[in-house]
């Protein structure tokens, strides 16, 4: 326990972040870039200390038997620490969204209205496991002129404590208040509660992690939340889907990185293409070690298909598993997607322009594609540089969130004595 916790509360940290936010909001783009480079340099310089703390987390996790996958996500090594620093440098080079004029006009009475991008103020984040999120979110928040309050997973507690300390020291050495980066990790559950109920202090709260974590944050928070959701992602193989596109896109969307939210989980094949496409797509998936969970029609057309249950259609596997179903027609595919999609990403493979446009228009998801891999739903791929998360809600932002999504706007009105008639 640090000396701080003897003298302050989670609420005090939120208040100090709010106060610091005023200072960060006034930094110029060049100032913010300089501070981020100082943070990146400090992370590199302090690599041994960061790795030692991470070693503590790994030992504790191993003793507690948290499992190899989690240990792997938790683990830092010299290369990973270097890429933490390089990610911060990348964020430093992104164009500064603050001050951008996004709208405006002159009122008939001559008052000049201007809508400008401003920082949110204080960004909160509640997340799990990977210590890189601590650095990524702090860097993005700072670049967009915000202070940040972090609540990481308890498994990464030692790593996060040191990373936050290193970043705060770098702020201070750069002449910027260290209070702009706060953690409430040392308050345990109370820290998360303070964030979720921090009305007047937290302008937006972003949960990142498991569906259970996100559900808790969304339902318990009284501050505004951006929901970053799970992805039960669909690919539809239309009657006209070219065999090579169908095979290559489905395999890429499943196999290239199965553990992430934009990986495909369900393939829907139109009935009159099933005989042509199910065997080749299933075979290509199985050749890459994928287990195909199929309905009866799929099982009749391919070998080694595991029978799919109702539960499969609603499952985000995040593994080398995929569900596959034959549907009567495009209406059947759209109906299935309405029922089971989490609104993240869906793609149709087709050469029929009418079906492509109908799919793009009618599917109500953050990203809707024709003839492309669902793996493209990603901030870096969209050209946003780093990524805060992928919003699956409709308020504020939808899809990959970049720097602009960590800002708000305000209206400026410049008059010369005008009053309302």
CB of 245 to its own copies, least distance (A): 4
Q: Which is nearer to its own copies, 7 or 219 (CB)?
A: 219
Residues linked to residue 390 through DSSP beta bridges, in sequence order: 400
Cβ atoms 348, 238 nearer than 8 A: yes
Contact 193, 221 (CB under 8 A): no
**Could you tell me which residues come within 8 angstroms of residue 320 by beta carbon, excluding any fewer than 6 positions away?**
254, 255, 258, 288, 289, 290, 291
Q: For its own copies, how many residues bind (rule: CB under 8 A)?
A: 69
The number of residues in the chain equals 421
Sign of CA dihedral 334, 254, 305, 300: positive
Q: Which span (51-59, 68-76, 165-173, 238-246) binds its own copies, by CB under 8 A?
A: 238-246
Q: Which is nearer to its own copies, 172 or 364 (CB)?
A: 364
Nearer to its own copies, 8 or 23 (CB): 23
Q: Whole-number minimum distance, CB 161 to its own copies, in Å?
A: 29
Tokens 């539809």 — which residue? 236
- Two tokens at 94? 């992104």
Closest CA to 166 of 41, 57, 80: 41
Question: Least distance in Å: CB of 293 to its own copies?
Answer: 22
Q: Give the residue, chosen from 107, 287, 303, 306, that forms a contact with its own copies under the rule CB under 8 A.
A: 107
Q: Which one of residues 256, 259, 288, 309 is an interface residue with its own copies (CB under 8 A)?
A: 256
Q: What tokens appear for 91 in the block?
A: 């964020």
Three-state SS at 230:
coil
- How far is residue 324's CA from residue 327's CA, in Å, rounded to a whole number? 10
Does position 125 interact with its own copies (CB under 8 A)? The reply is no
Angstrom distance (rounded) from CA 17 to CA 64: 34
Residues numbered 149 to 208 that lie near its own copies (CB under 8 A) are 199, 203-204
Residue 153 or 343: the one with the smaller Cβ distance to its own copies is: 343
The yes or no reply on residue 27 touching its own copies (CB under 8 A) is: no
- In the stretch 361-390, what mask flags binding to its own copies with x, by CB under 8 A? xx-xxxxxxxxxx-xxx---xxx-------
Strand duo 264-270 + 291-294: pairing: unpaired
Please tell me whether residue 398 binds its own copies under the rule CB under 8 A. Answer: yes
Q: Which one, 75 or 376, has the nearer CB to its own copies?
A: 376
Residue 371 C-beta: closest distance to its own copies, Å: 4
Residue 249 found at the interface with its own copies (CB under 8 A): yes
Within residues 207-236, the interface with its own copies by CB under 8 A covers: 218-219, 222, 224-227
Q: How far apart are CA 367 and CA 342, in angstroms?
A: 11
Comparing CB distances to its own copies, the nearer of 107 and 296 is 107
Please, which contacts does 351-357 make with residues 24 or more away whose CB atoms are closer than 8 Å? 351/240, 351/241, 351/242, 352/238, 352/239, 352/240, 355/238, 355/240, 355/330, 356/238
Q: For its own copies, give the closer residue by CB, 11 or 393.
A: 393
Q: Residue 122's beta-bridge partner residues? A: 147
* Cα–Cα dist 287/272, whole Å: 25
Instruction: Please give the residue ranges that form the binding site for its own copies (CB under 8 A).
Output: 22, 26, 105, 107, 111, 113, 115, 118, 120-121, 199, 203-204, 218-219, 222, 224-227, 242, 244-245, 248-249, 252-253, 256, 347, 356, 360-362, 364-373, 375-377, 381-383, 393-399, 408-420
């Amino acid at each position: 326990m640090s000396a701080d916790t003897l003298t302050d509360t989670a609420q005090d940290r939120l208040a100090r972040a709010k106060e610091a936010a005023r200072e960060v909001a006034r930094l110029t783009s060049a100032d913010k870039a300089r501070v981020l480079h100082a943070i990146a340099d400090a992370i590199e310089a302090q690599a041994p200390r960061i790795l030692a703390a991470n070693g503590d987390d790994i030992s504790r996790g191993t003793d507690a038997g948290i499992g190899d996958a989690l240990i792997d996500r938790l683990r830092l090594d010299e290369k990973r620490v270097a890429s933490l620093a390089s990610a911060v440098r990348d964020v430093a080079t992104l164009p500064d969204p603050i001050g951008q004029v996004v709208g405006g006009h002159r009122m008939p009475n001559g008052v000049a209205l201007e809508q400008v991008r401003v920082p949110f103020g204080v960004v909160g984040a509640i997340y799990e496991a990977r210590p890189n999120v601590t650095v990524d979110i702090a860097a993005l928040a700072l670049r967009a002129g915000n202070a940040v309050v972090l609540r990481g997973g308890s498994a990464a507690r030692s790593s996060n404590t040191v990373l936050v300390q290193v970043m705060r020291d770098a702020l201070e050495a750069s002449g910027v208040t260290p209070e702009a980066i706060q953690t409430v990790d040392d308050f345990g559950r109370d820290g998360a509660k303070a964030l979720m109920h921090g009305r007047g202090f937290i302008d937006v709260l972003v949960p990142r992690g498991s569906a259970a974590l996100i559900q808790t944050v969304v339902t318990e928070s009284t501050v505004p939340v951006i929901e970053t959701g799970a992805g039960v992602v669909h690919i539809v193989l239309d009657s006209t889907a070219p065999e090579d596109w169908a095979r290559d896109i489905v395999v890429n969307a499943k196999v290239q990185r199965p553990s992430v939210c934009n990986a495909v989980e369900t393939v829907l094949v139109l009935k009159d293409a099933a005989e042509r496409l199910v065997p080749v797509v299933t075979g290509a998936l199985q050749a890459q070690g994928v287990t195909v969970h199929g309905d009866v029609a799929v099982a009749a057309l391919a070998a080694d298909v595991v029978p799919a249950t109702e539960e499969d259609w609603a499952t985000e596997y995040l593994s080398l598993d995929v569900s596959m179903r034959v549907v009567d027609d495009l209406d059947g595919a759209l109906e299935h997607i309405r029922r089971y999609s989490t609104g993240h990403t869906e793609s149709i493979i087709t050469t029929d322009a009418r079906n492509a446009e109908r799919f793009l228009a009618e599917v109500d998801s953050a990203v809707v594609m024709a003839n492309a891999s669902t793996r493209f739903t990603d901030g870096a791929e969209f050209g946003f540089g780093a990524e805060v998360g992928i919003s699956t809600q409709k308020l504020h932002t939808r899809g990959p969130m970049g720097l602009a999504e960590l800002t708000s706007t305000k209206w400026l009105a410049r008059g010369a004595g005008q009053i309302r008639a």
